[in-house]
Each structure stands twice: as C-alpha cells, then as structure tokens.
Structure 1
C-alpha cells in the first residue's frame, strides 16, 4: 500500500475512534467531573501500552525531543479539559462541527512552520470544510455559548500541538510520541485531579477504559499518518468527524441533527471526496513516473 493510501486509511481510522472516544467520555461525565475523566483517559491509556513500553523501553523511550514532548503535554492538558468540558454543554455533532477550525489553522501553520505547500485541491477541500462548519453553527444568526468558546480555544491549542507532533514525527515513532504523551499527561492531570477527585462507579469506569482504548488507537494512527505525508494533506479528512458524530449523536444520545447540520455535512463530505480523488490520482501519477524512469 502506498504512503498516500495508508495515510488516508489511518486518518479516517483515527477520526472514527476519536468520535467514539468522545461518546464514551460524554457518558462518563454524567457521573464524574472533567478532571477525573481527563485523568483516567490518559492514565488508563498508559496502562494499556505499558507492557510494550517496558518490553521495548530502550527503543520506545529513546528520543532527542524530550522538551517538545513535554510542551505537547503542557498544551494538550488545557486543550483536553476545555474540549471535554464542552462535551457536557453542547450536542456532540455541534461540538465536532465547531472543532473543524482545526484543519484550517493547522494548514496555515504548516505553511509557516513546516514549509509545506498548499495545493489547490487541498485548499478547495479546506474551504468547503470550513464553509460547511459555518453553515452548521451560523455565527451571527445563532447565539454563541461559552461551550463554543471553549471548543475554539481548545482547537487553537490542539492545532499547535499537531504542528509539534509533525515536527518530532520525523525522528520519533508513533508509539514513542504516544508513550511520552501518556506519561506526561497522566502526571500533569494527576496533580489537578487530586483537588477535584470523584470516585467513578464500576459502569463509568468501564466507559473510561473503553475511551482510553479508543484514544490509544486514535493517537497511534494519527501520529503514524503524520509521519507518512504532509500534515496539510491529512486535515480535510478530519471533517468526517461530523458524519460519525451525527450518527452516534442520533442513535446514542437521541440528538437529532437539524437541516443546517445535514447541509453542512454534505458540503464537508464533498470536500473530502475531492481531496481523496486528487491524492489517489496524484499517487498513481508518481508511481507511473517511477515505472517509466526504471524502463
């Protein structure tokens, strides 16, 4: 499988598991506060990968980017707490739609800090995705709540985090990035949760375990996708979050997406189809040129 196709598969997988993770956390936060949910999300994730870390500690924990890993945790902690807090205040598909500012911010940052080029098809896909988001939240026509501001600030922090991840992914593996993220996030969130501790019920604890499992898959696939291709190429696929979130919101939380959500979703999905077709075609052209050169 080519890098482009594998990256597309990985990013769609990460989007799906990320949405499922949010669903489990939304349910869990009916019983515990955001600080407890955030701590267990990463601590249990660390427990899941700990056997592998201990077995391969000489390679997994080997890095020259320790400061960058810690910086990711410093940015990731408030991003996580704000986003998880907004889960309680907003319908899951609405929260997901607002977070679509991330691909736009990341793509712009990638130009300045990673030297990536923005091709016309990627730009078109991003514009369509962002337009779809605006249709859904309708700024100026619908009152913007505190939950919306939480998601927007979280999105800004997460966007910077993605750029740092892309930079260190050139040298560190996906599991190394995940290991340090789990370690540092567990430590930082532990010191906070001490002041806001609530004992989860057995049922809630199961939801937190499932959230941690989904989060582990999310970050492993996401980190590896960043290693394979330009970060700007992966971003339009983030808009698929809305499709998954709308389905889960309807069947799990009885949240009926309105007409504007569906119109926005169609616009977003059109952008994803455009970028998918172009990247697949570009990949075939590259392979064909390689074959011609060899012949």
Structure 2
C-alpha cells in the first residue's frame, strides 16, 4: 500500500485517500501528528465531496468528458506546483523511465474513469466498499511485479479481505452484476499504479513522478475524451469548478499533512472517506446502506489496515 509520496487529488475520487508507494520518500520535516491527522480527515471529507460532484456531472455528461476536464485543470496545477520546486520544469521532465511514467499516468486516468462510471451505476457507497480492496491487491501483486516476499500473515489478510468483498456483493442474493466489476477493476488499476510508482521511485524523485502522472494522464484521457467534447450548461460549470477546486485544495492539504507526520500514522484516518461517502450517498442520492455492505466493508478495511501495518513493519 502507498507510502509517503503525495497522491494526485483526482485519484482520490477513485480512492480512499492514500498516497502511492514511495519507499524513499523524505522523513517529515516536523512531527505534528495531531494536526496532520486532522488535516487528513478534512482531506477525506473533501475527497468525498469530489465524488459527489463527479457523480452529479457524470449522470448528465459522458464520464470521460468530466475526467478529461479535471485532468486539464490538474495538469495546469502540476505545472504550477513543479515550477516552484528546485530545478523547475526542466528537472521534472527528466526521467530515467519515461515509458513506465507514461504508463502510470494512463493507468491512473483509466482508474478514475472506471470509478466515475461506477459511481453512476452502483452509487458511492458500494463503489467505495469494493474499491477498499486495493491495498490487498497491492500486497498480492507486489510479489510477481516487484519480486517482494509476501508472508503467510499478509496472504491470510488478503484472503479474508476477498471474503469481505463476497459479503459486500452478496452473490447468493442475486444482486451481483457486471457493474460490480467496475470498482474492482479500478482497484486493480490503482494497485498497478501504486506498484509502478514504487518501481520508478528507485530512479526518479517524487516530484518527477508527480509531474509525469498529471501530464501523461491528461494526454491519455484527452486522446479518448476529446471525441465526446460538448459544452457544459452554465450551472454545471459551477459544479465543475467546485470539483477542480476540491481537487487542488485536497492535494495541497495532503502534501502538508505528510510534511507534518509519518504516513503510517495518517493512513488509517484516510479510511474516514468511507464514512463520509456513506453519509453523503444516503443523504443526497437516497442510496441504501445495506447491512452486508457495512459488514463486508469493515472486513475489507480491517484486512487492508493489517496488511499496511505488516508491510511497514517489514520495511522498517
């Protein structure tokens, strides 16, 4: 599961807020864990608001159009942020693994697109409940992709987590549909993105990866989404602006949080996004919080937190 590198704001509309894995990330300059935890909880709430705006706009326009506009704004944000760093854009462009960096951006763009589609078909609650499996997918795939050893404890947690997914989907109840594959596919994409981030972090600093994530993702989604271009209604531009502002503010707060405290202290609080999306889903979209979703989600989150804890313990 992700380590200490900041994670792009648009991915959070597709994810419980967690930064991608970067083992060589710097130690926080100051340890102010209490403030950092509060900031992470605020970030999780903003991420939930992003999901609300994404679903609202996705119901009226092609999801690929919404994701494309978000990426355009995020690309500008990335350029502005990177320009202020040491070396500026010239340093950010230089990567030792350009193909992998491009693949990361494209995979993350696809992940976000799948999530927006899932919000429309399944709703916020069930989408996030299934997507919460992504830390377990990271652990399961870290062996074949990165050659890391996964012990029996983590394999046990992975197995329990997938049982939680079955509880959520309730296959015996006859409610399983192909739409349920969307958040699972998004979780798989996000896991691959995280593992590739860990891979490139061996050669590229975090800001280089961040730059390529925004730029290559914007280019990839534009190649697909430009064919569905249409003007938004005036009121919908307001919602789009809110979506983009949430993305930029959440990213800034996340960067600040990880400057103040270790990721291992903050990560469990990122799961508060599940609480916020449940409240907003029931309140705004009349979604149903089914008992099996609550129980299954708790199983998946518990298994994911245990997997994160074991991974961090081994890395230390």
Contact persistence 2:133–2:304 (CA under 8 A)? no
TM-score by length of 1: 0.74
For the aligned residues, what is the CA RMSD?
4.0
**2:164 is the counterpart of 1:132:** yes
Per-residue deviation, 1:90:
0.9
TM-score by length of 2: 0.70
**2:186 is the counterpart of 1:151:** no
| Secondary structure of the corresponding residue to residue 194 of structure 1 | helix
Q: CA separation in 2, counterparts of 1:211 and 1:145?
A: 29
Instruction: Give the structure 2 partner of residue 65 of structure 1.
Output: 97
| Secondary structure of the corresponding residue to residue 173 of structure 2 | coil
Instruction: Give the structure 1 partner of residue 22 of structure 2.
Output: none
- Which residue of 152, 165, 182 maps to 2:197? 165
- Which residue of 121, 125, 131 maps to 1:93? 125
Q: CA separation in 2, counterparts of 1:124 and 1:16?
A: 31
| Secondary structure of the corresponding residue to residue 116 of structure 1 | coil
Instruction: Give the structure 1 partner of residue 135 of structure 2.
Output: 103
**2:69 is the counterpart of 1:40:** yes
**2:276 is the counterpart of 1:244:** yes
| Secondary structure of the corresponding residue to residue 176 of structure 2 | coil
Q: CA separation in 1, counterparts of 2:241 and 2:104?
A: 23
Change (3 A) 1:202 1:54: farther
Instruction: Give the structure 1 partner of residue 21 of structure 2.
Output: none
Q: CA separation in 1, counterparts of 2:150 and 2:218?
A: 36
**2:31 is the counterpart of 1:30:** no
Q: CA separation in 2, counterparts of 1:237 and 1:80?
A: 22
Instruction: Give the structure 1 partner of residue 223 of structure 2.
Output: 191
Contact persistence 2:143–2:150 (CA under 8 A)? yes
Shifted more, 235-244 versus 159-168: the winner is: 235-244
| Secondary structure of the corresponding residue to residue 166 of structure 2 | helix
Contact persistence 1:132–1:267 (CA under 8 A)? yes
Change (3 A) 1:166 1:202: farther
Number of residue pairs aligned between Structure 1 and Structure 2 = 277
**2:81 is the counterpart of 1:52:** yes
What do residues 96-126 of structure 1 show as CA deviations (whole Å, max 9, x unaligned)? 1222342222111112222334356655554
Instruction: Give the structure 2 partner of residue 83 of structure 1.
Output: 115
Q: Which has a greater percent of helix?
A: 1
| Secondary structure of the corresponding residue to residue 163 of structure 1 | helix
**2:290 is the counterpart of 1:255:** no
What do residues 135-191 of structure 1 show as CA deviations (whole Å, max 9, x unaligned)? 221124333223212333333333222210111123334332222121112122223
User: Which entry has the higher C-alpha Rg, 1 or 2?
Assistant: 1
Gapped regions of structure 1 (runs ≥ 5) = 287-295
| Secondary structure of the corresponding residue to residue 104 of structure 1 | helix
- Which residue of 136, 144, 148 maps to 1:116? 148
Q: CA separation in 2, counterparts of 1:155 and 1:66?
A: 24
Q: CA separation in 2, counterparts of 1:219 and 1:71?
A: 24
